[in-house]
Amino acid sequence: MTGPDCLFCKIAAGDVPATLVHADAQVVAFRDINPQAPVHVLVVPRKHVSSLDEARGADDSLLGGMLLVARDIARREGLADRGYRTVLNVGDEGGQTVHHIHLHVLGGRAMGWPPG
Ligand code: 5GP
Ligand code: ZN
């Protein structure tokens, strides 16, 4: 599923509304519609990559950029000192439900380990 059929492509294009917390040439970030923590933001590349397993070597700066955007959002949301979690679900057993790569930023409560 790509382009016009993909929910996160639609959000990145502004065709589906979301509460954006960041937008630049490569990446958008918005609040999760079903938050699992007081802060739950999704960092999403504008380019459609269906999962980490589909990422290419040439996507290295895109993937690194997603992490740095996550870091900046965590700082802005006041999470840097107390800590937070980033999660990248991959495939069925990884719990991925939207097949456009996205990095979860979760914080504002203590996280358990191991994850479910
Ligand atoms: P996954 O399970 O694929 O790692 O994460 C997908 C995430 O997207 C879920 O946390 C889910 O709540 C979120 N999500 C699904 N549909 C929408 C939507 O329409 N808007 C927003 N903001 N988040 C969504
Ligand atoms: Zn997409």
Residue 36: what are its φ and ψ, rounded to 5°?
A: -105, 5
Q: What is the pLDDT of residue 3?
A: 65
Cβ-based burial of 101 (10 A; exposed 0-12, middle 13-18, buried ≥19): buried
* pLDDT bucket at 116, cuts 50 / 70 / 90: confident
Picking from 54, 51, 59, the residue whose alpha carbon sits closest to that of residue 93 is 51
**pLDDT tens by residue, 87-107:** 999 999 999 999 999 999 999
The answer to whether residue 7 scores a pLDDT higher than 70 is yes
Length of the chain (residues) = 116
Residue 114 lies in a domain: no
CB of 84 shorter than 6 A to ligand 1? no
**Number of domains making up the chain:** 1
Distance 13 CA to ligand 2 centre (A): 10
**pLDDT tens by residue, 29-81:** 999 999 999 999 999 999 999 999 999 999 999 999 999 999 999 999 999 99
CB of 107 shorter than 6 A to ligand 1? no
Domain, as residue range, for 76: 3-107
3's tokens: 């382009």
CB of 98 shorter than 6 A to ligand 1? yes
Residue 85 lies in a domain: yes
Distance 81 CA to ligand 2 centre (A): 33
Q: What is the pLDDT of residue 72?
A: 98
Residue 115 lies in a domain: no
Residue 104: what are its φ and ψ, rounded to 5°?
A: -80, 135
